[in-house]
Structure 1
Amino acid sequence: MKVSRRTLLKLAGSSALASATLPLWSMRSAQAADSITVSDVGGAIAPALRKAFYDPFEKETGIRVVNVAHDSDPVTQFKLLVDSESYIWDVSMVTQDHVARLTEDKNYLADLQLDEVDPSGYVNGAVQSNWLGFSVFAIAMAYRSDAFTGGAPKSWADYWDTQKFPGRRGLYNSPWGMLECALLADGVPRDKLYPLDVDRAFAKLDKIRGDIGVWWNSGAQNTQILQNGEVDLSDTWSARALAAKDSGAPVELVWDGLYSMDGWSIPAGTPRLEQARQFVRFCQRPEQQAIYAGEVANGPSNLKAYDHIPEDRAKLLPSYPKNLEGLAELDSAYWGEHYDELSNRFQEWLLLG
């Protein structure tokens, strides 16, 4: 999900530049003192963002929120609007990897002034001076319960145990997150994953390569292969496995893996800085994050949100305390630095197989 954004940028750099100039109506909206423009990922989660954050913020403050969809990798757009002082966005939905790239050579991010927010009440890493994580997702394992009636897999070590748990397997067609799963299967503790022992991870992958029936490429495909029974178990993005489960497929999640987050940052220099900060602070409220988690199968970063989420729903979310115990924080800075070299090595490994 995250990694492909960087790759896409390299394949379509010129289109990213062109799309940085958003429609005139959105620019006019952002110029109004009583409105802000928020860029997000669009698509299926846009209505959830509107219901949980945009509309309630408008109602409470009178500040209109105009939302626009940004590129899958918004870093180039983000830099252009700051460098040109065009400020067609006032807030943007970005990942920790984006934040690392937006502060590497020059700081493009405003201080959110979240000094009054206690980080101890949040998922680790969610509260930063220039970024507020609000949407937690997991890289975990999913299996079909109808394929394992005599006992289900419970760890990545079990995934690699093809004799005890025979079945058709899927793996993500990318090293991102998947190398960590290989290391977990090989006994590396969650708190010792980084920097990745890449040679050890590929050696572990050598042992499972012949048992992989599907190398999936997208979240939609991951949902489909779990839904239709093309695979019996697979790595997954948690919301994608839950989509298959919600459709009626006998899919269960094993909370063994990694978590990461989407969050909000503000472009440095926006003339609507105070309104933008007000919006970000609004989004950290537990009751608003609970609404979002009720619409999208990602977990809240503010753990007090679980006071507002029904227990049966809460148990399905990555940041639910019991589920979070089995998840390590994905090191986005590591991947931002090493993704290209590891992706090339992974593709060569696949071809040589």
Structure 2
Amino acid sequence: MNTPFELDQIEILAQKARSGAISRRSFTQLAVALMGTAAVSLRGTPVLAQSGELVFVNWGGDAMTAYDTAYGAPFLAESGITVKQDGSGPSEGAIQAQFESGKPAWDIVDADPFSAQALGKKGMMEPIDYTVVDKTKTREGFGWEYAASSYFYSYIIAYDATKYGDNPPKSMADFFDVEKFPGKRGMYKWGAGMWEALLMGDGVAPADLYPLDIERAHKKLEAFKGNVAGYWGGGAESQSMLMNGDASMVLVWSTRAKLLEQDSGGDITFIWDQGLIAPGSMAVIKGNPGGAEAAMKFIASAQDPARQLVMFNLLAQGPANPATDALLPPEEARFNPVDPANAAKQIPLNMEWYEANYGAALDAYLAIISA
């Protein structure tokens, strides 16, 4: 992983390239020197858009190809506007830095809705133009002022079926019950979804979760952390914890569920019960170089059900447009976090709570798991 300092050096190079102080070829060569070829191949060098182009910033890896295949190429065909994929990672801090530079290089970002909302209220994000983006093509309750719903995933229990036979876990209480379900556990390093899981494991009813009682959740974590084999920060890491036998149950992203079943030959499986549904979104940085109008048109084009089906097939992202559900065959629908049958068993993360409380809650969470 590149440090914030290294990423800052890349941004300095990008600014020099945009101003003509160095050539684009030199920019790429220097970026490779700073980031390393492995990082560049994974995330791509930061993208410099030409006039009339857009830059879409996501989290790198396979997502870059998937977004281009599902959304970028069709949008180019219908609008004539090229959308370049940048995998450098649109964290809340990075988005804010782009805005504060006075000359952002990014247009559209794959952002957490609560981050987009927090930055938007500070004047850093464009309000979503719902005369262009169709709010009827989103699921009820998932439209925000500064973020447009684009996909879903969940935090769910994946487990080693060979260990539990005919008595699989059925709830978060079971995840935290190591007497009835012996074995080590794996949890997410960055907190989201874990507080809800801890509280349900401590007896809080799903309907009573919010506002989250962080003190109670962290008390549960303190008592339980001796049973945790590790705290994963990426999907591949969570997958390997189960595949390698380091843990018998892990709270994983639902996008890993199908891979886990396939790679284990069915020895590892999952449940949707008491999963936590998390939304992804597209947002537009205020003052983006490609213009808000073109960015909104791209977001609207990504609402197409057939295009969202491509993203589901490539990355197992749950579609934001409910019309896509009917396009999934039954054998695939069971991997869709927002399929009606699956969604009925889960609880949506409360974006308003995360917008107001995430930073302080995460600091306290990290202090406990790192002690």
- Shorter chain as denominator, the TM-score bin is 0.7 to 0.9
AA in 2 matched with 1:187: G
Q: Is residue 103 from structure 1 mapped to residue 120 from structure 2 by the alignment?
A: yes
Q: In the alignment, which of 232, 245, 264 is matched to residue 216 of structure 1?
A: 232
Instruction: Give the TM-score normalised by structure 1.
Output: 0.85
Residue matched to 1:308: 327
Match of residue 271 from structure 2: 254
Whether 1:192 and 2:215 are equivalent positions in the alignment is no
Paired residue for 1:232? 248
Q: Residues 1-353 of structure 1: matches in 2 within 5 Å?
A: 12=4, 14-20=5-11, 22=14, 24=18, 26-29=47-50, 31-32=51-52, 35-73=53-91, 75-114=92-131, 117-119=134-136, 122-249=138-265, 250-255=267-272, 256-270=274-288, 272-350=291-369
Deviation of 1:212 (Å): 2.7
- In structure 2, how many angstroms separate the alpha carbons of the residues matched to 1:172 and 1:131? 24
1:114 Cα offset (Å): 4.3
* Distance in 1 (alpha carbons) for counterparts of 2:98 and 2:224: 46
Q: Is the 8 A contact 2:184 2:248 kept in 1?
A: yes
Aligned-pair distance for 1:186?
Answer: 2.4
CA contact (8 A) 2:96 2:124 kept: no
Task: Single out whichever of 104-113 and 37-46 deviates more from structure 2.
Answer: 104-113
Q: TM-score, normalised by structure 2?
A: 0.81
Maintained 8 Å contact 1:172/1:215: yes
- Secondary structure class of the residue paired with 1:201: helix
User: Which consecutive residues of structure 1, in runs of 5 or more, have no partner in the other structure?
Assistant: 1-7
The alignment-based identity, stated in percent, is 23
Q: 1:111 to 1:212 in 2, by over 3 A?
A: closer
After TM superposition, give the deviation of residue 140 of structure 1 in Å.
Answer: 1.2
Instruction: Tell me how many residue pairs correspond in the alignment.
Output: 338
Describe the SS at the equivalent of 2:120: coil
Structure 1 CA distance for aligned equivalents of residues 259 and 90 of structure 2: 21
CA contact (8 A) 2:67 2:311 kept: yes
Q: Runs of 5+ in structure 2 lacking a partner?
A: 19-23, 25-46
Question: Which residue in 1 is equivalent to 2:21?
Answer: none
Listed one character per residue, the Cα deviations across residues 165-209 of structure 1 (whole Å, up to 9, x for unaligned) are: 223322234433212101112232323212211232233334533
> What is the rounded CA distance, in whole Å, between the counterparts of 2:102 and 2:349 in structure 1?
33
